[in-house]
Structure 1
Amino acid sequence: MEQADSLMDQARAAFDQGLILAQEWLLSPAAWSQFALLVGAYLVARLANRIIAPRLTRLLTPEPDNSSIIAKARRFVLIFMPLLLPLLAYGFTAIGEVVTRSLFGSGAVIAFGKRVFLFLAARALAKHIIRDPFLKLLARYVLVPVAALYALGFLDQVIAALEGTVVSLGNISFSALAIIRGLIAGSLLFWLGQWSNTQSVAYIERQPMRPAIRQLIVKVAEFAIFGIAFLLLMNIMGISLSSLAIIGGAVGVGLGFGLQKIASNFISGVILLVEGQATVGDYIELDGGEAGTIIKMTARATILETFDGRWIVVPNEDFITTRVVNYSDSGSANRLEVAFSVSYDTDINTVPAIIEAAVATHPEVLDDPEGPDCELRGFGESGIDFGVEFWVNGIDDGKNKYASDVLFLIWNALKNNDIEIPYPHRVVELKGTLPA
């Protein structure tokens, strides 16, 4: 309550001081001459802007299809063209201030005009130049109000009042200014960290390297960027880094007692990324029978997606301590087999060549490392059993119907060569005489 009364008293004192200053300006010839110089500087700035802006725009505008670094830099500079008028006015006003102070020994009015032009520049920056939604919000509700307070000459008083306002959180006390500064700096730092992380991920994704190593580098870059942002924020807030060592010790004790699994999964995830045993896009089968495609690898777990769209969250430790079958291995070829039978009346010596030629016509069947191979498997109860092996890139899942396609090819090939696919044969023996 006392702090609120103090702020009100300071506001009244500032208002009274501003009223007295306005009366002095209205009654002073020097103030009127400064005001005339201020208006003249603004008019000269508008004239200069009308001459310079079109020529500068033509000079900086690159060809539409030019995507070089210089062209991008020129387009970036063009974004700031709305700042030309207020900055020209500020520059001419600064020249007028030097002249006024040399002639009259004072320049309060023209100095006020300079601050107003800076406010207009901040407003143009927030309204016409900044496009990012977060930065635009920050400029509109932080930069523009601060520039307005600076233009009116109240910024120092507001800073002093916020510095004197103390907020206590238990045994820790912060000034209101430190809290506001920490919020603004934290928002900017973590926005910059997010932007830097996006740019670094885009750059790393373009580099030729193993997918597992690429993902590991992405994670390391992300931790490094946000770690640096956090340390900078602690420094801006005035929090000693030695206190972080105490927190780190407490976290270490927590890892030793209650977070062993989390630490184990994190280290297992790093090992997986380094060794490349499994990566995003691989189709794997776990020791417990669960199978699916890896769609995401996090610090704690790996997420599999099954054929029917379900997600299975598998702790990274399971990939290290249990048996895992990787059918994809980042897109390597896999061998599949399809079984079929023919009648005992068939000349089986002709079957392998017919089937191999038919299966080889499938566009996804590979010749390397080996073409289709038809083999005799045995003599069954109803027919002669064969199997055909073939190599494909991928696995037989909902997206790839390799087995179904090959069975169609086998059926058509056998029919075209008048080879019979046998029906089941059963012999029924009746003992005794048939009933009348």
Structure 2
Amino acid sequence: MDNDLIPSSISELFDNMAEAFLLQFGNLVELIVTPGWRQYQIAIILGLVALSFLLTLLTKSRWEAWARARSGWPKWRLRVLVQLMQRMTLVYFVVLAWGVYLVMQQVTWPSRSYIIGVLATLATAWLAIALISRLVRNRTIRRIFRWSMWIYATLVALSLTDDVAEFLDGVAISIGSLHISALGILKAILLIGTLLVLARLGTRAAERGLKSNDDISPSMQVLLAKGIQVAFYGLVFLVGIRTLGFDLTGIALLSGAVGVGIGFGLQKVVSNLISGIIILMDRSIKPGDVISLGDTFGWINALGARYVSVVTRDGREYLIPNEDLITGQVVNWSHSDEFVRLDLTFGTSYGDDPHKVRETAVRTVKSVKRVLSGGKHEPVCHITGFGDSSVDYVLRFWIRDPTAGLTNIRGNVYLALWDAFQAEGISIPFPQREVRLLGQGATDTAVPHLDTD
């Protein structure tokens, strides 16, 4: 290339780009004002826009009725349908514009449909970008992505990409062999954004596939899903760094030095991360298990990289660090199986037949919902001792759904025992005490006192 054609400064590069824009704008104005097929194309485009609005008004209600009848479709398909319904006029214009463009390409000179083809391409790009951008959850990032892609599609359709790319590549800083330009940064942002969306979609697809595989335990499903997620996002990071032009060897040395310093300040975080990996690998707990840790009793909702989410019966969600589950004593009510045995203690009067009491208690507890019976899960009742005021018993029974609550089943069994003992004439005594009042020359008087403690 001739050196005279290479801009010597950013200002000169900007002047060249502005001159190119003005030239393109002048050509566009000339296309509009010069009599001939250009005006006919503009008239055709305006007619297509009007026809698109008219078709939207005439068919909107029918399309909405048809869409409501598609309730059995998958969610992603329904979302796409809703987006298309919201942009019905644009959809009609895309279809009509491409139809007219293809017909005119066959029956007349290609130059007589150039403007229609450009606008058809722009409309198609805008529609596709609007649909694809819905995959980005964050509203701010979604808007940035949408506008960036719209601008890029417009530049491509108007053949201005080379001029803009030359200007952006000239806005750069160079440090040794490192060259960072505005064009490189924009490319990196677009590439990283696209890869992040693909990584999120890939992670979700992998999680759904793992959850549908019954041969993999829940804890291994979580571990594999976390590993896939780390691999995807790590690849995105490396690609982004390479796109910006950084040398990964230097970054590796720097990250190693920084990592040593940060590691001392993040010992707890690292400990929780390692503990989380250990929990997932040894499968000591898994999502859905019922555990007790100190005063916290509930079932595991999710296993995270740093903590475990435990939901209690009152709706509270506790985030317990993974390290506490490794170093502390945890009661897993459903580690090997779902069966849980509960013990209830009560006492009856010495005047009641203990054989009848045991028979009544076992028969009654079997009638309570959620209580298991038969085989090794048969309820039993034993005498545990002779107390000061009552004969003491323990009633043991099994359930298989601890996630449904323990206090409520105990309360139901106690209530059923109360009703059964009342019906059978079995009394539940309470402690009695006798208080004597001693006075001078007075006869000892015994006053009975009931101690209801």
Aligned with 2:297: secondary structure? strand
Q: Distance in 2 between matches of 1:25 and 1:213?
A: 65
Alignment counterpart, residue 122 of structure 2, candidates 119, 124, 127? 119
Q: Distance in 2 between matches of 1:310 and 1:302?
A: 13
Aligned with 1:302: secondary structure? strand
Give the paired residue count.
Answer: 412
Q: State which drifts further: 362-371 or 306-315.
A: 306-315
Alignment counterpart, residue 184 of structure 2, candidates 165, 174, 178? 178
Residue 362 of structure 1 and its aligned partner are, at CA, apart by 0.6
Give the TM-score, by structure 1 length.
0.75
Q: Distance in 2 between matches of 1:24 and 1:336?
A: 89
Alignment counterpart, residue 376 of structure 1, candidates 378, 383, 388? 383
Q: Distance in 2 between matches of 1:163 and 1:88?
A: 38
In structure 1, the residue matched to 2:285 is 278
Partner letter of residue 301 of structure 2? Answer: I
RMSD: 4.6
| 1:416 aligns to 2:423 (yes or no) | yes
Give the TM-score, by structure 2 length.
0.73
Residue 32 of structure 1 and its aligned partner are, at CA, apart by 7.5
CA deviation profile, 1:147-182 (whole Å, cap 9, x unmatched): 322333332211111111125899965211111222
Contact 1:334–1:392 (CA<8 Å) still a contact in 2?
yes
Contact 1:370–1:391 (CA<8 Å) still a contact in 2?
yes
Q: Distance in 1 between matches of 2:437 and 2:219?
A: 68
Alignment counterpart, residue 172 of structure 2, candidates 150, 166, 177? 166
Residue 210 of structure 1 and its aligned partner are, at CA, apart by 2.4
Partner letter of residue 222 of structure 2? Answer: Q
Residue 341 of structure 1 and its aligned partner are, at CA, apart by 0.9
In structure 2, the residue matched to 1:228 is 235
| 1:149 aligns to 2:155 (yes or no) | yes
Gaps of 5+ in 1: 50-60, 101-106
| 1:352 aligns to 2:355 (yes or no) | no
Residue 328 of structure 1 and its aligned partner are, at CA, apart by 3.3
Contact 1:212–1:276 (CA<8 Å) still a contact in 2?
yes
Alignment counterpart, residue 398 of structure 2, candidates 380, 391, 394? 391
Q: Distance in 1 between matches of 2:176 and 2:368?
A: 73
Contact 1:278–1:326 (CA<8 Å) still a contact in 2?
yes
Aligned with 2:370: secondary structure? coil
Contact 1:86–1:121 (CA<8 Å) still a contact in 2?
no
Gaps of 5+ in 2: 1-7, 53-65, 444-453
CA deviation profile, 1:243-301 (whole Å, cap 9, x unmatched): 44324523553476444433332122111112221223333333xx3423233322122
Partner letter of residue 302 of structure 1? Answer: V
Contact 2:135–2:197 (CA<8 Å) still a contact in 1?
no
| 1:292 aligns to 2:297 (yes or no) | yes
Q: State which drifts further: 32-41 or 170-179.
A: 32-41
Q: In 2 relative to 1, CA 15–268 (structure 1 residues): closer, same or farther, beyond 3 Å?
A: closer
| 1:302 aligns to 2:308 (yes or no) | yes
Q: In 2 relative to 1, CA 211–119 (structure 1 residues): closer, same or farther, beyond 3 Å?
A: same
Partner letter of residue 189 of structure 2? Answer: L
Q: In 2 relative to 1, CA 319–166 (structure 1 residues): closer, same or farther, beyond 3 Å?
A: same
Partner letter of residue 355 of structure 1? Answer: A
In structure 1, the residue matched to 2:442 is 435
CA deviation profile, 1:399-432 (whole Å, cap 9, x unmatched): 7511111111111111111112112133556779
Contact 1:115–1:150 (CA<8 Å) still a contact in 2?
no
Contact 1:193–1:226 (CA<8 Å) still a contact in 2?
yes
Residue 215 of structure 1 and its aligned partner are, at CA, apart by 1.7
In structure 1, the residue matched to 2:446 is none
Partner letter of residue 340 of structure 1? Answer: F
5 Å-filtered alignment, 1:6-85, equals 6=12, 9-18=15-24, 21=27, 35=38, 83-85=94-96
Q: In 2 relative to 1, CA 186–200 (structure 1 residues): closer, same or farther, beyond 3 Å?
A: same
Q: Distance in 2 between matches of 1:130 and 1:396?
A: 41
In structure 2, the residue matched to 1:319 is 325
Q: Distance in 1 between matches of 2:313 and 2:176?
A: 54
Partner letter of residue 190 of structure 2? Answer: I
Contact 1:379–1:385 (CA<8 Å) still a contact in 2?
yes
Q: Distance in 2 between matches of 1:388 and 1:20?
A: 95
CA deviation profile, 1:67-119 (whole Å, cap 9, x unmatched): 79xx99xx99x99975444444555666689x66xxxxxx6x86666444322
Q: In 2 relative to 1, CA 323–10 (structure 1 residues): closer, same or farther, beyond 3 Å?
A: same
Residue 330 of structure 1 and its aligned partner are, at CA, apart by 7.6
Contact 2:178–2:246 (CA<8 Å) still a contact in 1?
no
Contact 2:178–2:245 (CA<8 Å) still a contact in 1?
no
Residue 242 of structure 1 and its aligned partner are, at CA, apart by 2.8
In structure 2, the residue matched to 1:237 is 244
| 1:340 aligns to 2:346 (yes or no) | yes
Partner letter of residue 117 of structure 1? Answer: A
In structure 2, the residue matched to 1:213 is 220
Contact 2:346–2:393 (CA<8 Å) still a contact in 1?
yes
Contact 1:94–1:114 (CA<8 Å) still a contact in 2?
no
Q: State which drifts further: 237-246 or 225-234.
A: 237-246
CA deviation profile, 1:331-381 (whole Å, cap 9, x unmatched): 611111111111111111221111100000011101253221110011010
Partner letter of residue 334 of structure 1? Answer: V
Contact 2:180–2:244 (CA<8 Å) still a contact in 1?
no
Q: Distance in 1 between matches of 2:155 and 2:264?
A: 53
Q: Distance in 2 between matches of 1:405 and 1:128?
A: 55
Alignment counterpart, residue 264 of structure 1, candidates 265, 271, 276? 271
